[in-house]
Amino acid sequence: MTVPKTSVLVLDCAEPEELARFYASLLGAEVGTADGDAELLLVAGPSGSVLGIRRDPDRVPPSWPLPEGPEQPHLRILVTPEALDEAEREAVALGARPMTAEVDDSRPGSRTMQRRFADPAGHAFVLAAVRVPSA
């Protein structure tokens, strides 16, 4: 029998309360502390997603994305194509820093748009929208 488990992506930063408020506002989520781990804040979204934020005063923000380097682990936030511009405005108003915008028309019949940002602590995240062609 397998022991029930769940997973959570944890972002380290110097100011976890500030970063937790950023993601809670961006995702329409609530912030709470993890039972048994006073150092871990949990951002729980209405869709059931959970993001952890942990204090690390010595953390250095990554330099991703570099054109010559591979993608690093990052948070991908999915939105409808029609909501992408509005989601970008919300993210920037909350303190996100735009990094790049990309359009990928390489797959016939579909269009993928994504916009890369750094959160206030420097973690990379992507707002991504996919339009599926109608049948």
CB-based contacts of 48, cutoff 8 Å, min separation 6: none
Range of the domain at 20: 9-55
Is residue 63 assigned to a domain? no
Residues 81 and 39 placed together within one structural domain of the fold: no
Note the pLDDT tens digit of each residue in 17-66.
999 999 999 999 999 998 888 889 999 998 888 999 999 988 887 666 56
Note the pLDDT tens digit of each residue in 2-22.
877 778 899 999 999 999 999
Residues 50 and 81 placed together within one structural domain of the fold: no
Report the share of the chain in percent with pLDDT over 70: 78
Q: What is the DSSP letter of 4?
A: P
Note the pLDDT tens digit of each residue in 64-114.
656 555 566 788 898 888 889 999 999 999 999 998 655 555 544 445 588
Indicate the residue type of 122: G
The pLDDT score that the predictor gives to residue 135 is 46
Residues 90 and 124 placed together within one structural domain of the fold: yes
Is residue 2 assigned to a domain? no
Residue 116 sits in a domain whose CATH number is: 3.10.180.10
Q: What angle do CA 49, 54, 56 make, to 5 degrees?
A: 150
Is residue 66 assigned to a domain? no
Residues 44 and 84 placed together within one structural domain of the fold: no
Residues 43 and 89 placed together within one structural domain of the fold: no
Answer whether 106's CB lies under 8 Å from 114's CB: no
The pLDDT score that the predictor gives to residue 10 is 92
